[in-house]
Amino acid sequence: MTLSLRVAIVGAGPAGIYAGNILRRQVAEQGGEVAIDLFESLPAPYGLIRYGVAPDHPRIKGIVNSLHEMLDAGDIRLIGNVEVGRDVEVGELQQRYDAVIFATGALRDAPLDIPGIDLPGSYGAADFVAWYDGHPDVPRSWPLEAREIAVIGNGNVALDVARVLAKHPKDILSTDIPANVLAGLEASPVTDVHVFGRRGPGHVKFTPIELRELGEVPDVDIVVYDDDFERAAGDAHAEALHAANNQVKVMTRTLNGWRAAAGSTGAGTASRRLHLHFLHSPAEITGDGKVEAIRFERTRPVGDGSVEGTGEFVEYPVQAVYRAVGYASSPIRDVPFDERAAVIPNAGGRVVDASGESIPGVYATGWIKRGPVGLIGHTKGDALETITNLVADAQAGVLAAPAIDAADGTEILDLLDARGVEHTSWQGWLALDAQERGLGESFEAPERYAGVVRERVKVVPREEQVAISRDDVLALS
């Protein structure tokens, strides 16, 4: 059976782009044809890479190069600035495509249910990341008014947030950081950022490169505490991890290096400090109308990788708290959603209904499929499973033929045009990309940042991104 498919993918982040590329390759290997439309709610592609990775991580952002090649090949059509469920309904896509794949990721902060979490000065890490990455749908300003800050979490997002908060603006200026974010960071009075984890130093969820880079931030001392390491001593589970996992060995060596340095030299001399605390479980955020302190119960390891409370409580004076305890996906109208797990229920990427039966032609991949776990590279294997099942369903004749003939590819664009949706394209992204690079090349560093060179300056406002992408720059003047 020679395949001839039209497929819509919702979400133009790594998960969606990988899925499109794998689908294109699998169908081509069988001598078939596939037309792929990649729908994105933002005017620009790349999702998490553009709006969820700290700007001072050029090596991680290097993934953009491979994603660019996949889209630039011309086999996948980008249709940006289109919100599925608002600008076009899921049912309307099902009428026009043989299959619809959801790859919308996880953009919300997971909740942390402790007293005081809603006090002014308490924030979600996802919101802060969206701000410093220049997401067009978040406020342009951020209240950076605290001298002492707590970050709750022991994963890479917690480290990113802590590093951006502690870093001096001049040391982040060479990135694509937007002008409004730079201005906010310049005004920040921060002196101390505290990162807290529930488990011990042997169970951190950082990656070695993230941890090592933390110690390379200029004029920021890393502070660790002997008491945390002594409380973690003898943890059989942590010792087994250390013996079996090279990454754990590297991170343990890094942490112990900071511990030894502190013991030999005493207090550091940097103007800012980044503290790493372990075996602290958040209990309460306190303050009179705003965040003034955070209270923790000290924990101890129980030998199986988990911890238990000790009944001992400690309190730290802080004026802001950022929770980085995980991300959660959001539901899409007319698509099944598991509220508890915050994923689209599926079996191997095949979306299932309330009875557990597969819904023909509807699939999921990435974090909306499996939850916000794993690194960006893990989405390749995830997409491979989903696409392999989709192709198998197509070969088995499970997919229903589209009710509306949209074979020439213009019908969906005509529909959006008729609704006044200002959709963007791959060519539009290339124009926006060139504009941002041009802003970087023309940047003239003020005297206090003399010598700083910028490759790119990110355009933030949605309307400006859309205008540039749609060759409507004159409308901005």
pTM (2 decimals)? 0.92
Q: Do 90 and 217 sit in the same domain of this protein?
A: no
Q: Last residue of some domain: 378, 399, 424?
A: 424
The sign one gets for the Cα dihedral 396, 397, 402, 407 is positive
pLDDT in tens, 317-363: 999 999 999 888 999 999 999 999 999 999 999 999 999 999 999 99
The domain of 33 spans 4-107+329-424
DSSP 298-363: EEEE-SSS-EEEEEEEEEEE-SEEEE-S-EE----TTS--BTTTTB--EETTEEE-TTS-EEEEEE
Average pLDDT, rounded, for the chain: 92
Q: What is the pLDDT at residue 89?
A: 97
**Two structure tokens written together for 70:** 């996949």
Closest CA to 100 of 328, 329, 346: 346
On whether residue 442 sits in a domain, the answer given is no
Q: What is the pLDDT at residue 472?
A: 55
Q: What is the pLDDT at residue 262?
A: 67
φ/ψ of 241, rounded to 5, equals: -60, -45
Q: Do 296 and 185 sit in the same domain of this protein?
A: yes
Distance CA 474, CA 363 (A): 41
Distance CA 344, CA 100 (A): 13
Q: What is the pLDDT at residue 405?
A: 83
CATH number of 209's domain:
3.50.50.60
Q: Do 293 and 158 sit in the same domain of this protein?
A: yes
Q: What is the pLDDT at residue 389?
A: 97
Beta bridge partners of 93: none
Neighbouring C-beta atoms of residue 475, cutoff 10 Å: 12
Q: Do 283 and 353 sit in the same domain of this protein?
A: no
Q: Do 283 and 346 sit in the same domain of this protein?
A: no
Q: Last residue of some domain: 424, 441, 463?
A: 424
CATH number of 372's domain:
3.40.50.720
Q: What is the pLDDT at residue 107?
A: 83
Q: Do 333 and 321 sit in the same domain of this protein?
A: no
Closest CA to 332 of 345, 348, 323: 345
Q: In Å, how far are 103, 292, 343, 350, 383 from 331, measured between CA atoms?
A: 12, 35, 8, 16, 20
On whether residue 431 sits in a domain, the answer given is no
DSSP 87-100: TB-HHHHHHH-SEE
pLDDT in tens, 289-314: 999 999 999 999 999 999 999 999 99
* SS3 assignment, position 2: coil
Q: What is the pLDDT at residue 380?
A: 87
Q: What is the pLDDT at residue 401?
A: 87
- pLDDT in 10s for each residue of the chain, 477 residues: 688 999 999 999 999 999 999 999 999 999 999 999 999 999 999 998 899 888 888 677 678 888 999 999 999 999 999 999 999 999 999 999 999 999 998 888 989 999 999 999 999 999 999 999 999 999 999 999 999 999 999 998 999 999 999 999 999 999 999 999 999 999 999 999 999 999 999 999 888 888 988 899 999 999 999 999 999 998 999 999 999 999 999 999 999 999 988 654 445 789 999 999 999 999 999 999 999 999 999 999 999 999 999 999 999 999 999 999 988 899 999 999 999 999 999 999 999 999 999 999 999 999 999 988 766 667 888 999 999 999 999 999 999 889 888 777 899 999 999 999 999 999 999 999 999 999 999 998 888 888 888 989 999 999 999 999 997 544 444
Q: What is the pLDDT at residue 362?
A: 98
